[in-house]
């Protein structure tokens, strides 16, 4: 059999718990369920940074964040960094990107042969998400939940409609039968703002406009960094009705994203390509959606750092497989390069191909997640291995959670003498090859460089944007 094609779906800000394959009590996501029923669901997959640009840059390169130095949403990935698109092209694949990959700066391709839907962001001289630790972590933030969540139109959904149109057109081209290809269909929803088209919003409001489950006293007992993020993102004191509307809209946005995936899957099948295509579904990070009193991402809580990972490899992976091994986006990249027989030299992570073939089922796995952007002023890193997750905050006490006994992360075990051994062990893993003092210095240096670039651009955009028309 010829080498398989790859169809990669990446949504933005999807907490996997808000989907039927991951057991949500009332969400209906038939396209995701369709992939899960035919393929494999990974229960414990993580992003490598809970923020768009750092996460996507890590995903594209297959490298840990501290190796590529893309710390926040204003920093661009170096054009000299080989991506999986470069590597798959060198292995003989045609590579195509439809939609957002949040490439900041003049290089809007990063190895892709074609880009059929450009960035939705304006790329306004690199100032998107500009972070400046010199003014303190609490620099005023304009992102607010209070901005009228509910039903309505929004450019994010229009963007995703275009991703569907262009992706299905790509799959319909005769060339798809002649040369192996990789199509990355990057869907912007369910990213905030929490505005969903009425036909999706009213599927959940008011019947399923629920409130987060936050035990009494939990917010007062949170780690200082979680309290700082709640303040930074204006998460305190949000009226209950706003919370209900936002959650209903988020459910609707997930359903809308699922419908986009379904249309593209239909095209894959109708064009006779499904039998020789590996289908992968991931997100760049999750969404807190009010849990733990928090919204948006930028946190190591499961809702923000855990991601969906579903892989369907026809004729290879047993239908309906579920794996609880710890994985990350780095492993997804390794898996694609491995299956596609592409060079993976210098990348991180491990290939999941043995698992997908039914081998190595005893592998425990490990995942690292890193954050040095807005809402903090210090190096932070998470490690998940087995049942335990350790959150390291440089200069502050860590957090330790036993996710088997405490999946809701309500009981921090870090100060418990009985946990001292596992805290020491996981801290050593966090610090292995990762120097928080050097990273903090580099973050500040890179921020200073970006300020010079932004000042020199004088508001002029770097490149084409979906908002300004398709590569006009």
Q: What residue segments make up the domains of the chain, in order of their start?
A: 5-468
The CATH code of the domain at 5-468 is 3.40.720.10
Instruction: Find all residues with CB under 8 Å of 423, minimum gap 6, and list them.
Output: 390, 398, 400, 414
pLDDT score of 471 = 36
- Return d(Cα 162, Cα 119) in angstroms, integer: 12
The predicted pLDDT at position 361 comes to 66
Q: Quick one: average pLDDT of 215-225?
A: 96
Read off the pTM: 0.94
- Tokens linked to 118: 């450009």
- Copy the structure tokens of residue 4: 């398989």
Phi/psi region, residue 13 (left: phi>0; alpha: psi -120 to 50; beta: rest), is left
Q: Please, are residues 32 and 304 in contact by the beta-carbon 8 Å criterion?
A: no
- Cα distance from N-terminal residue to C-terminal residue, the chain: 40
Cis-peptide, bond into residue 197, ω within 30° of zero: no
With contact defined as beta carbons under 8 Å apart, do 47 and 56 qualify?
no
DSSP class per residue in 256-280: HHHHHHHHHHHHHHHTT-GGGEEEE
- Predicted confidence at residue 124, as pLDDT, reads 45
Non-local CB neighbours of 422 within 8 Å, separated by 6+ positions: 388, 390, 400
Average pLDDT over every residue of 36-61: 97
Question: So what's the pLDDT on residue 467?
Answer: 55
Helix (H, G, I), strand (E, B) or coil at 181: strand
Q: Read off the pLDDT of residues 141-197 as tens digits, 9 standing for 90 and up.
A: 556 676 689 999 999 999 999 999 999 999 999 999 999 999 999 999 999 999 999
Mean residue pLDDT of the chain comes to 92
pLDDT tens-digit map of 241-277:
999 999 999 999 999 999 999 999 999 999 999 999 9
The model's pLDDT over 100-114, given as tens digits with 9 standing for 90+, comes to: 999 988 899 999 999
Which of helix, strand or coil describes residue 382?
strand
Summarize the confidence of residues 88-98 as an average pLDDT.
Answer: 98
pLDDT (0 to 100) of residue 218: 96
pLDDT of 140 > 90? The answer is no
> Would you say residue 35 has pLDDT above 80?
yes
CA–CA distance, 1 with 278 (Å, rounded to integer) = 13
CA distance 196 to 86: 36
- Mean per-residue pLDDT, 38-61: 97
């Amino acid at each position: 059999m010829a080498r398989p094609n790859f169809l990669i779906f990446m949504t933005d800000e999807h907490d996997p718990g808000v989907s039927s394959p991951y057991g949500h009590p009332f969400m209906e996501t038939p396209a995701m369920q369709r992939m899960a029923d035919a393929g494999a669901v990974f229960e414990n997959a993580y992003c490598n940074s809970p923020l768009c640009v750092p996460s996507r840059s890590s995903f594209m390169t297959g490298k840990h964040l501290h190796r590529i130095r893309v710390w926040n949403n204003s920093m661009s990935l170096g054009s000299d960094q080989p991506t999986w698109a470069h590597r798959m092209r060198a292995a003989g694949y045609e590579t195509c990107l439809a939609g957002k990959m949040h490439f900041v700066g003049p290089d809007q391709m990063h190895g892709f042969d074609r880009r059929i839907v450009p960035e939705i962001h304006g790329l306004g001289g690199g100032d998107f998400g500009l972070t400046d630790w010199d003014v303190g972590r609490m620099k005023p933030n304009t992102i607010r939940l209070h901005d009228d969540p509910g039903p309505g139109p929004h450019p994010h959904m229009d963007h995703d409609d275009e991703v569907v149109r262009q992706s299905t057109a790509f799959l319909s081209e005769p060339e798809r039968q002649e040369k192996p290809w990789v199509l990355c269909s990057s869907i912007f929803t369910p990213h905030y703002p929490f505005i969903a088209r009425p036909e999706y919003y009213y599927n959940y409001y008011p019947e399923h406009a629920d409130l987060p489950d936050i035990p009494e006293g939990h917010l007062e007992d949170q780690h200082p960094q979680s309290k700082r993020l709640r303040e930074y993102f204006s998460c305190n004191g949000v009226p209950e009705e706003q919370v209900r509307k936002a959650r209903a809209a988020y459910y609707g946005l997930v359903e809308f994203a699922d419908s986009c995936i379904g249309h593209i899957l239909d095209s894959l099948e109708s064009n006779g390509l499904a039998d020789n295509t590996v289908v992968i579904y991931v997100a760049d990070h999750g969404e807190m959606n009010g849990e733990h009193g928090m919204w948006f991402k930028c946190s190591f809580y499961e809702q923000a750092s855990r991601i969906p990972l579903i892989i369907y490899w026809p004729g290879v992976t047993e239908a309906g497989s579920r794996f609880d091994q710890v994985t990350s986006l780095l492993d997804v990249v390794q898996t694609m390069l491995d299956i596609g027989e592409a060079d993976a030299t210098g990348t991180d992570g491990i290939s999941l191909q043995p698992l997908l073939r039914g081998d190595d089922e005893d592998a425990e796995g490990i995942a690292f997640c890193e954050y040095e952007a807005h809402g903090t002023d210090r190096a932070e890193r998470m490690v998940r291995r087995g049942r335990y997750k350790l959150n390291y905050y440089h200069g502050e006490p860590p957090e330790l959670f036993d996710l088997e006994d405490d999946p809701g992360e309500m009981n921090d075990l870090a100060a418990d003498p009985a946990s001292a051994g596992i805290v020491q062990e996981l801290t050593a893993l966090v610090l292995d090859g990762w120097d928080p003092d050097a990273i903090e210095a580099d973050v500040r240096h890179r921020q200073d460089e970006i300020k010079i670039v932004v000042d020199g651009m004088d508001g002029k955009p770097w490149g084409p944007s979906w908002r300004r028309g398709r590569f006009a």
